[in-house]
Structure 1
Amino acid sequence: MTVPKPPLKILLAAPRGFCAGVDRAIQIVEQALTKFGAPVYVRHEIVHNRYVVDSLRAKGAVFVNELDEIPDTTQPVIFSAHGVAKAIPASARGRNMFIVDATCPLVSKVHMEVARHHEQGREIVLVGHRGHPEVVGTLGQLPDGAIHLIESADEARSFLPRDATNLAYVTQTTLSLDDTAEIVEILKARFPGINGPVKEDICYATTNRQNAVKAIATRIDGLIVVGGPKSSNSLRLVEVAERAGCQFSVLVERAADIPWAKLEGAKAIGITAGASAPEVIVEEVVEAFRQRYDVSIDVVTTLEERVIFNIPREVRLARAPAEQH
């Protein structure tokens, strides 16, 4: 006799998963492989997701930590979506490398902001997480010491600028809205004349995914966030859910990581995905729940995303070998 599966409601947060910047970066690598053949070299993980990186590696992408690991080649050398310090493309040009920049346009916007503030003689504060590739890339836009990194409210309270009347701030694009708002409020209270971005630096996708989680947090017993352990925006979704009243929130890379013991007695579970997590893994996670529960799914959509970023011309306009005859 088959034992009936316990009922479980799944609230599927939308929007979730790939943002336009991640989608563009992956397309850049895939189109480069189609048009130039393997290998295509990629400095650092193109996005913070093991499934995506492994899939591209299987197609012929070669991931390296630094440019000196790349042999002399005429094949494309792609910079990741997180952006790079100015010294990196300079070094690549010194070796006549065929550079393709997959930096998310919203990260490039922050790079342009720090350059503008620096040209206008302002001291710059970057709100972000030390060591994250995006932060390393932004700090590397200017000479050492030109940008001060602030990671917490405490650091914002103790920060002492050279000239309190000539300051500007920018932020990492994948931060928690609430954490960042607190830090920015402290900076504005201490330095009323501080210059900020015309339009917020935190990217639309990070904002939208956090708001979607807040919309379901009080209706669920726990939240599953599909994403990589190095993905800043995915880790923020875990924190946002817990702060918004969710009893527990957990990050999983694949369905095999689901902590079933924590779900004992759950009646409703939320599922979302970070901006670098493919929908195929969300489907894998949902299927794992179907194996154990009698699942009903409710998609909770807070808004529709229609943002698309263009592929760089050097890849978009290149012709595949078969087209050249």
Structure 2
Amino acid sequence: MDLPPLTVLLAGPRGFCAGVDRAIKIVEEALRRHGRPVYVRHEIVHNRFVVERLEALGAIFVEELDEVPDDGQPVIFSAHGVPKSVPEAARERAMPYLDATCPLVSKVHRETERHFARGLHILMIGHAGHPEVIGTMGQLPQGAVTLVENAAQARLVAVPGGVGLSYTTQTTLSVDDTAEVVAILRERFPAIEAPQKENICYATTNRQAAVKAVAARAELVVVVGAPNSSNSVRLREVAERNGSPRAVLVQRGADLDPALADGCRVIGITAGASAPEILVEEVVERLRERFSVTVEEVTVATEDVVFQLPATLRRPAPIAG
């Protein structure tokens, strides 16, 4: 029986960004140098496939440092960044650690510290409870940063009197939603200082632009990513707001019901910045079970960003014996 035709638009860029790639390599290189186990505080990136692969190599994921034994093995901080209290606690225990925080998140940390040092109160645009937000707010004393989650909060947020204001953002937000929040803050507080450069990272911006291009032509968009991945959830929202009648988030091919594409001629696929390309390939193969698939790449930007590993992992490893 002939299978119905289906055109699959693959959004580009998609999948791993430079910060995610660096974080995973830090865990792999730490295992190579130090042997099993190495400990990782929180998911190194928000993707179960990645986490389970690293577990199979010998990584042990913990929620807090008190779960890590004093066995001399290193602990790694996730790509999302951590409050200052975390490395301080590691140092108090003489615990070796490696910081896999994305350099673009670290840039936000340093800029926030500079604004605070100038006496500014910081408004942080982001999602409550997200590890990146916790890490950024945790760079400064309690009360120095006020979280603003959306436009409604931006219209109502109270700020301390008699001090200047600046704003910063989580790196994985919706570009359009953030622009709306910033516009409201600027209208309410005309003197508020902006970041020197846009804090939403290049990878988030590019992936959202790519999914917009795909969504304009697609009757369904499939986003490959984890439900706790902020940038993946934003991609699904962006797809629905920019022309696609429906968008779904799946973690891998087995999670997709290919019947969702019944009656569609064109669908789009993208992947969050922490989802490896192999999971996109799984989704395409899942669709081939039901359709005669033609794949078309829709690329809006080319990425060539590479972040170096920490200096301690770039030095030659000591020779055993």
What TM-score, normalized to structure 2? 0.98
- Give the counterpart of 2:62 among 64, 68, 87: 64
What are the superposed Cα offsets for residues 62-81 of structure 1, whole Å, 9 maximum, x if unpaired?
00000000000221110000
State the Cα deviation string for residues 64-109 of structure 1 (Å, max 9, x = none): 0000000002211100000000000000000001110000001001
| Distance in 2 separating the partners of 1:27 and 1:8 | 36
- 2:270 matched to 1:272? yes
| Aligned residue identity for 2:95 | M
Q: How does 1:216-231 map to 2 (within 5 A)?
A: 216-231=214-229
Q: Would you say the 8 A contact 2:121–2:163 is kept in 1?
A: no
Runs of 4+ in 1 over 3 A off after TM superposition: none
| Per-residue deviation, 1:180 | 0.3
Partner of 1:245: 243
Which residue in 2 is equivalent to 1:76? 74
User: Does the residue aligned with 1:199 lie in a helix, a strand or coil?
Assistant: coil
- Cα drift, residue 290 of structure 1: 1.4
Match of 2:129 in 1: 131
Quote the residue 2:200 is aligned against: 202
The 2-side partners of 1:265 and 1:226 are apart by 21
Native 8 Å contact 1:126 1:170 kept in 2: yes
Q: Which string of whole-angstrom CA distances, capped at 9 and with x for unpartnered residues, describes residues 42-61 of structure 1? A: 00000000000000000000
Measure how far apart 1:113 and its partner are.
1.2
Contact 2:80 2:105 in 1 (8 A): yes
Q: Is the 2:40–2:77 contact (alpha carbons within 8 Å) kept by the matching residues of 1?
A: yes
Shift, 1:38, TM fit: 0.7
User: Partner residue of 2:9?
Assistant: 11
Q: Secondary structure at the match of 2:132?
A: helix
Q: Give the Cα–Cα distance (whole angstroms) in 2 for the partners of residues 48 and 228 of structure 1.
A: 6
Following superposition, the deviation at residue 316 of structure 1 comes to: 2.1
Task: Please state whether the residue corresponding to 1:193 is helix, strand or coil.
Answer: coil
Partner deviation per Cα, 1:178-205 (whole Å, 9 max, x = no partner): 0000000000111111001011000000
Deviation per residue, 1:149-196 (Å, 9 max, x gap):
000101101112113761000000000000000000000111111001
Please name the residue that 1:317 is paired with: 315
C-alpha deviation, 1:289, in angstroms:
1.2
8 A contact 1:35–1:318 mirrored in 2: no
Moved more, 109-118 or 201-210: 109-118
Secondary structure at the residue paired with 1:281?
helix
Distance 1:67 1:210 in 2: 35
Q: 214-223 or 310-319, which moves further after superposition? A: 310-319
Displacement after TM superposition at 1:259 (Å): 3.1
| Number of matched pairs | 321
Q: Which amino acid aligns with 2:152?
A: D
Q: Could you tell me which runs of 5 or more consecutive residues in structure 1 were left unpaired when the two chains were aligned.
A: none
CA-CA distance at 1:262 after TM superposition: 2.5
SS of 1:154's equivalent in the other structure is helix
Instruction: Note the alpha carbon deviations across 1:252-309, whole angstroms, 9 max, x for none.
Output: 0011111334322011110000000000111111111112111111001111100000
- What CA distance in whole angstroms lies between the structure 1 residues aligned with 2:150 and 2:302? 32
Distance (whole Å) between structure 2 residues aligned to residue 247 and residue 138 of structure 1: 36
Are the counterparts in 2 of residues 41 and 63 from structure 1 also a CA contact under 8 Å? yes
Query: Residue in 2 aligned with 1:117?
Result: 115
Give the RMSD, CA atoms, in angstroms: 1.1
Check conservation: 1:164, 1:191, Cα contact below 8 A.
Answer: no
Distance 1:31 1:110 in 2: 26
Alpha-carbon distance in 2 for matches of 1:318, 1:146: 41
- The answer on 1:286 being equivalent to 2:267 is no
CA apart distance, 1:318 = 4.5
Asked if 1 retains the 8 angstrom alpha-carbon contact of 2:123 and 2:167, the reply is: yes
Q: Distance in 2 between matches of 1:195 and 1:229?
A: 33
What 5-or-longer segments of structure 2 have no aligned partner?
A: none
Match of 2:155 in 1: 157
2:243 corresponds to which letter in structure 1?
G
Whether the aligned pair in 2 keeps the contact of 1:165 and 1:191 (CA below 8 Å) is no
Residue 17 of structure 1, CA deviation = 0.1
Counterpart amino acid of residue 219 in structure 1 = R
Letter in 1 for 2:23: A
Match of 2:52 in 1: 54
Which AA in structure 2 matches 1:176? S
Cα distance per residue 1:103-139 (max 9 Å; x no partner): 0001001111111111000011000000000001111
Verify the 8 A CA contact 1:111 1:141 in the aligned structure 2.
Answer: yes
State, as a whole percentage, how many aligned pairs show the same letter: 60
Q: For the residues of structure 2 that align with 1:317 and 1:32, how far apart are their CA atoms?
A: 12
- Tell me the distance in 1 between the aligned counterparts of 2:155 and 2:218: 36
